[in-house]
Amino acid sequence: MVEGLVKRYGRDTLAVDGIDFRVPEGMTVGLLGGNGAGKTTTLALLLGLLIPTAGRITVLGYDMARDRFPALARMNFSSPYVALPQRLTVAENLRVYGHLYGVARLDRRIADLAEELDLGEFLHRPAGQLSAGQKTRVALAKALINHPEVLLLDEPTASLDPDSADWVRGWLERYRAERRCAILLASHNMGEVERLCTEVLVLKKGRLVDRGSPGALIARYGREDLEEVFLDIARGRQAARIGA
């Protein structure tokens, strides 16, 4: 749960400007916004990489400002922009993160993930030698190593071909349903957001400018799909559409 979250860098840059939201168990909430809208900053604040200027973040009942480590043990994160050590094999990387997250029966867990995410072919290959699609699957395996109850995903299907991206989305849907996991998804892929998210938060210049289910947003803006809604908001046509 996020209440009145503000992040300011120095005097001039307001990256996140007083946003509130919650991600219920078993739901996927999407963070939409153009470059610099504050999506990555919001994720970093939730993960404790950044200290908020104001506001409160509570994850799984823990106040992240005072007691973030018990919550971090039950969360995880995946982003194509944060790498895993390239010289270590996939299995070694998963072993490192399995130990960091205190995963029980780690060998079994790695074998299960290898099977579920089809990593077997390159499990013993250095991470730096994998294709973009394989790296994304490994990043997802790392993010799922501890059976997270809260999953933060930054562009989880970036650089994937449509088939692989579809496979990942399907997998995430199943995982959320089976584990009742709360997922916060930052993405520029509107089709992905429409398919996965139960609620969408639209950010612009750090402010939450609109929110609702994908269907509700599309209806409110009188558009065909979420991409057109996104363009309306990004180009400042929001008032005109609603007023129309």
Partner 1 sequence: MNGTARRVWALLYRHLALYRRSWPRAAELIYYPVLQMLIWGFTARFIASHPVTTFSLAGSMLIGGVLLWEIALRSQMGVAVSFLEEIWSRNLGHLFVSPLRPSELVAGLIGVSFLRMLVGLIPAIALAWLLYAFDLFQMGPILVLFFANLMVMGWWVALAVVSLILRHGAGAETMAWAVLFGLTPFSAVFYPVSVLPMALRPVALALPSAHVFEGMRAVLLHGAVAWGEMGWAIGLNVIWTAGAMVLFARQFRAARVRGALISIGE
Binding residues for partner 1, rule: CB under 8 A, are 9, 40-41, 44, 47-51, 69-70, 72-73, 75-77, 79, 82-89, 92, 95-102, 126, 142
Whichever of 86 and 131 has its CB closer to partner 1, that residue is 86
**171, containing H or E segment:** helix 162-179
Q: Measured between alpha carbons, how far is residue 171 from residues 54, 136, 166 in Å?
A: 36, 13, 9
Q: Tell me how far apart the alpha carbons of residues 59 and 63 are, in angstroms, rounded to a whole number.
A: 7
CA 199-203-207 angle, to 5 degrees, is: 120
Whichever of 81 and 244 has its CB closer to partner 1, that residue is 81
Residue indicated by tokens 């994937």: 160
Give the shortest CB-173-to-partner 1 separation in angstroms.
24
Give the shortest CB-242-to-partner 1 separation in angstroms.
34
Give the shortest CB-69-to-partner 1 separation in angstroms.
5
Whichever of 142 and 176 has its CB closer to partner 1, that residue is 142
Whichever of 4 and 85 has its CB closer to partner 1, that residue is 85
Give the shortest CB-178-to-partner 1 separation in angstroms.
23
Q: What is the DSSP track for 215-242?
A: HHHHHHHT-SSHHHHHHHHHTT-HHHHH
